[in-house]
Structure 1
C-alpha cells in the first residue's frame, strides 16, 4: 500500500462556477461551470479509481474489498469506504434540502446509512450566510406551509459564514449555503437527499406541483426539527516548531483536521486508519514509508492505514479527513494539550 491518487468527479450543477479552478487552483477541470469535485468517493456510480502505481485501474471499492485492513486499519470490516469528501463552489445558492439520518435512510430510502456532513469554509464573501436548522418553536405544520411558499427565512435559521470555521450538519437537518462561498465538505458515503425547491439543481428546470408535493412529503418524514448546529473555529494545538494542528470537527462518522506548517520543521503525523489528504495551500512534497508524491493545489491523496505516517515539507496548509476512534484520535490529543473536559464534551456533542 502507498499514497493513492484518485480520479475526480466534476459535477456541473446550476449553483456552481469556476472558483475551484481559478481561486483554489485545481487543474484538469472542464471549462464549463463546476459546482462540486468529488475527491474521494465510494458512492455507487461515482466511485473513485486509482490512477498511480500497481493498483492503477482499480476502484476504491475494489481496493477496500481486496485489502480492507491495509487500507482502513486493523479490524475494519465495512462494505464501503466510509468517508466522502468534496470541494464545493457555491457561486450561487444551493437548494434548501436535507439528507436522511441513518434510521430514516434505512426505513424510508432503502439505504444502509444516512448522510451526516460537515462544511469547512475555505472562502466566503463579506456578508455571506447559510441556512441551517429550523428556528426554535416552529411546528411541523408551519414548516411545511413555509416550504410550500418557498419562504425559507420564516422558518430556518440564517447564520453568518466566515472563512476558517466549520459546521457539523447531522442527518435530518434542513440546510443551504451560498452564494460566493467555497467549501470543503466531508460526509458519510451516500448521495441521498430531499429537496424543497421548485427547480432541479442539475439544470434549473422547474419542478411540477405533483413532484414538489411528493418531495415535501418525503422531506417532512425525514426532517429533524430539533437540530440547530452552529459554526465553530475548531480546537488548535501546537505539534512542532511552527506546526499547528486544528481539530475542526469530530464525530462517529468522520473527523476533519487542518494542519499548517512553516519551514522550521516539516509536518509529521502518524495514523492507524486511512487519511484523505487534501491540499488547500501551495504545492507540497508528501512522503510516507512507502512512497513520495508531489501534491498540487486543491489536489487529494488517499493515505492507506498501512502507510502509518506522513511527512510534508512546509510551508503547508492541508486537510486530513478520516474515520476516527474518538478517544484515541481526538479526545486524547486535546486532553494532553490541556483542553478541559467541559470543552471536549461540547466539542463531541456538536460533532455527532
Structure 2
C-alpha cells in the first residue's frame, strides 16, 4: 500500500561512514566525496537497509523516512512489479583498503539461516576503482587444502599457505559467493555490492574497529564458527565484464550479475547523453565528475562519489556527459541481463560467468 500523497522520486540517502583500522582518506581525496569525517574512513555505506545503519531520505517530500519505511510503504513503485520483501535487498559501499582488510567470510543463505539465525547470507562483488601497481587480493582456498590444513594455517596467520592470491587491476570485478574466505588491500579502492546483511566471521588476531588484540579463547571460538561456514570449493576469478556500445560514445559494461544483484558501469562522452531504461530500483553511484541527472520532471546534479536511489516507477533516466556512473540493482536475470547480452551476441557461458554461482 502506498503512502498517501507522496509520489516516489530519486532519493538521496544519508551515508554511514565507518572508521575501521584498515581505512584511509582515499574516498575523500581520490574519489572526491564530500560530507564525510576528515579522519581515516574505511567504508561509506551508500545505500543501506542494514539494521543499525539504515539510510534515511535526506531531501524532498519523504525526507526523514528510512529506506525501510519507503520499501514497506511503496514496494511496487520502488522495486517494480512482483517484488515483496521486508527490507531493501541490496547494499552498496565505497571501501578504502589503504591497509589490508581482515581475512574473513560471510555465510551463504543456507548457512546464515542455520547458524546465524539470519534471513539471508551475504554474497558480494567487488568492482575495483583504483589499485596500486602490484596490488593483490586473497580469495578462496587453494585446491587440495583440507579443513585441518586450513584451520592450522589460519591459526598460525599463514594465509598465503592456504588461500589464493590474485592480481588486482582497476576496472575488474570479482563476484564472491557466500562462504568464500577473502581479503583485499593495501592501496585498493573498491565499490562493493552485496546482499543486505552485516554477518561475517574473521580469522584475525585483531579487532577491525580499533586494532585491539583478540584473545586466544575468543579467537578459537571465531575460528570454529568460520570453519563451519567456509566453502572450500569457491574459487572465483576477476572478470573485465561484458561491454555493449549503446550510443555515440556511450558504453555499458555488465560487471556482475546473479539472482542477488547486478552491477553495471556506464560511461558517456558529449556526443549524446547516457539514456537508461529500467524496471527495478537503480542505485546510481557517480564515480566520475559531477553530472546532471534527469528523470521525468526531476533534474539535479549528482556530485563526485554521491549516490542516488532511483525508484522503478521513474522508468528511465538521462545523464548529460561526460559521465562515469555505476548502476546496481536486483535483477530479473532474463530481462535485465541475459536478453541484452544475448542480443549483442555474447554466448550463454560468458553471461553466466558474471555471477560464478557455485553449486547452481
Question: Does the alignment reach a TM-score above 0.5?
Answer: yes
* Corresponding residue for residue 323 of structure 1: 330
- Alpha-carbon separation, structure 2, partners of 1:280 and 1:150: 35
Q: 1:102 to 1:342 in 2, by over 3 A?
A: closer
How far does residue 289 in structure 1 lie from its aligned partner after superposition?
1.2
Residue 4 of structure 2 is matched in structure 1 by: none
Aligned pair partner of 1:85 in 75, 86, 92: 92
**Aligned residue for 1:294?**
301
Q: Can you list the C-alpha shifts for 1:43-97, whole angstroms capped at 9, x where unaligned?
A: 0010000011100000000001111111101111111100000000000000000
2:340 — aligned with what?
333
Tell me the residue number matched to 2:103: 96
Query: What does 1:262-273 align with in structure 2 at a 5 Å threshold?
Result: 262-273=269-280
Q: 1:167, 1:348 → 2: CA distance?
A: 9
Q: SS where residue 267 of structure 2 aligns?
A: strand
Among 190, 194, 209, which residue is 1:187 paired with? 194
Report the CA distance between 1:305 and its aligned residue.
0.5
List runs of 5+ in structure 1 lacking aligned partners.
Answer: none
Q: CA deviation at 1:350?
A: 5.2
Query: Which structure 2 residues correspond to residues 4-19 of structure 1 after superposition, within 5 A?
Result: 4-19=11-26
- Distance in 1 between the 2:355 and 2:45 partners? 26
CA RMSD of aligned residues (A): 1.0
Aligned to 1:283: 290
* Map of 1:46 onto structure 2: 53
- SS of the equivalent of 1:65 reads helix
Is contact 2:288–2:305 with CA below 8 Å preserved after alignment? yes
Distance 1:334 1:175 in 2: 29
Deviates more, 1:74-83 or 1:190-199: 74-83
Aligned to 2:353, what secondary structure does the other structure show?
helix
The CA deviation at 1:344 is: 2.4
Contact 2:151/2:227 (CA < 8 Å) preserved in 1?
Answer: yes
Distance (Å, rounded) in 2 between the aligned partners of 1:348 and 1:31: 36
Q: Which of these residues, 127, 149, 157, is aligned with residue 164 of structure 2?
A: 157
Tell whether the 8 Å contact from 1:290 to 1:307 is kept in structure 2 after alignment. Answer: no
Distance 1:206 1:346 in 2: 39
Question: Equivalents in 2 of 1:82, 1:308: separation in Å?
Answer: 19
**Paired position in structure 1 for 2:146:** 139
- Cα deviation for residue 228 of structure 1 reads 0.2
Residue 185 of structure 2 is aligned with which of 178, 189, 203?
178
Residues in 1 aligned to 2:170 and 2:353: alpha-carbon distance in whole angstroms: 22
Per-residue deviation, 1:142: 0.3
For 1:208-219, list aligned pairs within 5 A: 208-219=215-226
Is residue 42–residue 81 contact of structure 1 (8 Å, CA) maintained in 2? yes
Query: How high is the TM-score relative to the length of structure 2?
Result: 0.96
In 2, the alpha carbon distance for the partners of 1:290 and 1:69 equals 20
- Cα displacement (A) at 1:347: 3.5
How many residues in Structure 1 have an aligned counterpart in Structure 2? 352
Does the 8 Å CA contact 1:277/1:320 hold for their aligned counterparts? yes
How many Å separate the matches in 2 of 1:349 and 1:152? 23
Task: Please state if 1:305 is matched with 2:296.
Answer: no
Matching residue within 264, 280, 300 for 1:257: 264
Cα separation, 1, equivalents of 2:222 and 2:354:
34
Give the Å deviation of 1:340: 2.0
> Does the 8 Å CA contact 2:175/2:256 hold for their aligned counterparts?
yes
Deviations 1:201-245 (A, max 9, x none): 000000000000000000000000000000000000000111000
Q: Hey, what's the Cα distance between the residues in 2 that align with 1:73 and 1:343? A: 27
**C-alpha displacement at 1:349, in angstroms?**
4.0
Contact 1:229/1:350 (8 A) holds in 2: no
Q: 1: CA distance between counterparts of 2:222 and 2:266?
A: 40
Distance 1:47-1:82 versus aligned 2 partners, 3 A rule: same
Task: Mark the runs of 5 or more structure 2 residues left unpaired by the alignment.
Answer: 1-7
Q: Secondary structure at the match of 1:4?
A: coil
Q: Offset of 1:107 from its aligned partner?
A: 0.4
Contact 2:104/2:183 (CA < 8 Å) preserved in 1? yes
